[in-house]
Amino acid sequence: MNVLDAKIIPTARGLEIYLDVEKNIKIKDIHIPTMDSPFYEIQFGIEYFLLREKKYYDSEMNYFGIHMNHDFSLITLKEPEMESLFAVKNEDEQEATKKLLGEWFIKTNHYKESINEFVKKVKQENVYTDEDIQHKLKTLKFLEKLLELTTEDIELAPVEKPVQLEAVPIF
């Protein structure tokens, strides 16, 4: 690892330090369009160090999703309900996080390697039906599209917060 492969975001909680290290980037989940949900989505976990005053550091793993429509023309960043990379941050810190994803994360070696490893895994899967073949082809196409993302794609993407259900009082 090269020191230049690190990125730091100052937040109210402390300094978040992101390193381009294999174990720090994880693909948690991938979704391919279905009749009920016609979108592509992948969820990444990013581990980082949080330096706090009067503490050395804590390691944290938080997540975010990249959500695309069926023809890849619309990209949205999605916050998961739990352990969101954007949570507990003010607007400026969220923008810095978004900038981190666009200018650094999608350009890191380990982002590309994690996707390429997933491509290998998908290619090795056995397929038995036409539906399996279609699912495999769609997954590979989506993964290839993720490798083509640009800084502008990420920075222009809106961040979608999880749907919060309102509590309804019961009398």
Percent of the chain with pLDDT over 70: 93
User: pTM for this one?
Assistant: 0.87
Residue 171, pLDDT > 70, answer no
Per-residue pLDDT tens for 116-148? 999 999 999 998 899 999 999 999 999 999 999
Per-residue pLDDT tens for 82-117? 999 998 899 999 999 999 999 999 999 999 999 999
Residue 168, pLDDT > 80, answer no
- The pLDDT value recorded for residue 1 is 45
- Nearest CA to 31 out of 22, 18, 44, 15 is that of 44
Question: Are the CB atoms for 44 and 64 separated by under 8 Å?
Answer: yes
Amino acid in the structure at residue 67? H
Residue 165, pLDDT > 60, answer no
- The pLDDT value recorded for residue 167 is 57
- Nearest CA to 95 out of 37, 142, 155 is that of 155
